[in-house]
Amino acid sequence: MARIARRCTPVVACALLACAAGPITAAQAAKHKAKSQTLVVCKHGCRYSTIQQAVNHSGRKATIDVRPGKYVEGVFVKGHRHDGLHIIGIGKKPSAVVIEGRHAHGPEGAAQNGIEGDNVNNLDLENMKAEHFASNGFFINGCKGYEMKDLIVGFNHSYGMYVFKCVGGRMTQSVGYGNGDSAFYVGGTPFQKHPIQTTLDHLRGYENVLGYSGTNSKYVVIRDSEFYNNGAGIVPNTLQSEPWQPASSGLIEHNLVYWNNFDYYRPGSPVRTVSSGVGSKQANYPIGAGVMLFGTTDWTVKDNSIFGNFLWGAAAFSDPTNPTQKAVNDGNRFIDNKMGGVFNDANGADFYNDGSGRGTCFEGNSAGSTFDHSNTEPDSQLYASCPNSFGTGTTAADSSQFGKLAAIVLSNPPTDQEKIWHVHAHPPRKGRTPFEG
């Protein structure tokens, strides 16, 4: 009882002060309270010993300060009453606050995500680490705006940082490794009449199946980031299984994309692969590629440094099996990129185009760039400069190019993909070691 009295006293005092200062509406008071609300979480001696407890007691625009420690839980933030919530680790570095997925439980089994926001706008997550979750490190499902900053995501089953059905937002200054799909993922983005950009910048993704993946993502800018030692570096894609096809209107610029030759198909790989399912004729992801535009429309790959990827530096192709025919290699542009030769670290071929769709073009890339040639179509059409009107106009590809791609994705066992790699030693890079699995 005494404890309750102590809690109430400041509230009463505040109320009296407010009255003395002049009229104030209940709404204004609530707004003021919400703005100033800060909740502190720590393992011992704080009012809240779990992040979930603090979330449950937080309102709009509240701040939750999480002190250093390991928190074995999956945190769920649901609904607009949490709009503007800021959850921040207050350690000196992100790894000081660890949200641990091993032995963490949720309402229906294993905890799925380190922190999940479900229909929360402007959720800010900062300066924490999430690892070993059954699904994702950090996941926001349905939002207008978010910021994920100074986060580390490692060895989560699917994605490190994942957003779906969001309009706008930013992932920045974060690191992802060992994730079973991609380190960073922007999923289905609703069509917008006046698009709000999603920005991914100053990210570092390594030793994941994919560095960046985004199914049906739109209005995304990926810049000033580094993707290396993944199975493939940056892979926006279109799939019928998810809403808002196709992946369109994206920009990939000023990134370092290199050494993406992680063969996670090898036995004993430290990262489990998405292609470990059954069926001898399954189609597997290509490995050894820097940038792959899979069924995208109007994506621009500009002024990146792309080198040392043993299959392709950058590639574009359609998905002819998509029954909606919306996964078309249309209007993609590869401009002003510095490719393998510039770094004395060749890609298998700097560019691959399957010849499907219409108008995909190549211009201003570094001198001596190499192209994966077709036996049936001249480079002057397959790798034409911008703008152009070449291409089949459909998801059907040039037969020669399609044959190569089919052989890759149907390699059995999938480690046979390595047989067509152009393997060589890389020039050293400070602080980086090539990793192939």
Partner 1 sequence: MKRNTLIGSGAALAAVAAAAVVAVPVTAGATSAHGAKATAKHITVADDYFSKSNLKIKKGGAVNFVWSPQNFESHNVTLVKGPKGVKHGQFTSVTGSTGIRFKRTFKKPGVYHFICTIHPGTMILTLTVSK
Give the footprint of partner 1 on this chain (CB under 8 A). Answer: 76, 106-110, 112-113, 116, 118, 134-136, 139, 141, 157-158, 162, 164, 180-182, 187-188, 210, 213, 215, 235, 237, 239-243, 274-279, 281-285, 294, 319-322, 405-406, 409-410
Choose between 171 and 346: whose C-beta lies nearer to partner 1: 171
Question: Minimal distance in Å, beta carbon 203 to partner 1?
Answer: 17
Question: Minimal distance in Å, beta carbon 20 to partner 1?
Answer: 44
Question: Minimal distance in Å, beta carbon 181 to partner 1?
Answer: 5
CA 312 to chain centre: 21
Neighbours of 167 (CB within 10 A): 19
Using CA atoms, how far apart are residues 324 and 302, in angstroms rounded to an integer? 29
Q: Are 150 and 125 in contact (CB under 8 A)?
A: no
Question: Minimal distance in Å, beta carbon 252 to partner 1?
Answer: 16
- Residue 39 is encoded by which pair of tokens? 């909740």
* Close Cβ partners of 14 (under 8 Å, ≥ 6 residues apart): none
Choose between 145 and 187: whose C-beta lies nearer to partner 1: 187
**3-class DSSP state for residue 41?**
strand
Question: Minimal distance in Å, beta carbon 346 to partner 1?
Answer: 26
Question: Minimal distance in Å, beta carbon 404 to partner 1?
Answer: 12
Choose between 255 and 273: whose C-beta lies nearer to partner 1: 273
* Close Cβ partners of 218 (under 8 Å, ≥ 6 residues apart): 189, 191, 192, 195, 244, 247, 248, 249, 250
Choose between 319 and 350: whose C-beta lies nearer to partner 1: 319
Question: Minimal distance in Å, beta carbon 276 to partner 1?
Answer: 7
Choose between 206 and 307: whose C-beta lies nearer to partner 1: 206
Choose between 174 and 179: whose C-beta lies nearer to partner 1: 179
Question: Minimal distance in Å, beta carbon 322 to partner 1?
Answer: 7
* Close Cβ partners of 108 (under 8 Å, ≥ 6 residues apart): none
Choose between 25 and 241: whose C-beta lies nearer to partner 1: 241
Choose between 322 and 374: whose C-beta lies nearer to partner 1: 322
Q: Are 110 and 72 in contact (CB under 8 A)?
A: no
Long-range contact set of residues 131-134: C-beta below 8 Å, sequence gap at least 24: 131/98, 131/99, 131/100, 131/101, 131/155, 131/156, 132/100, 132/101, 132/102, 132/156, 133/74, 133/101, 133/104, 133/157, 134/101, 134/109, 134/110
Using CA atoms, how far apart are residues 190 and 296, in angstroms rounded to an integer? 15
Beta-strand pair 109-110/105-106:
antiparallel
Q: Are 50 and 69 in contact (CB under 8 A)?
A: no
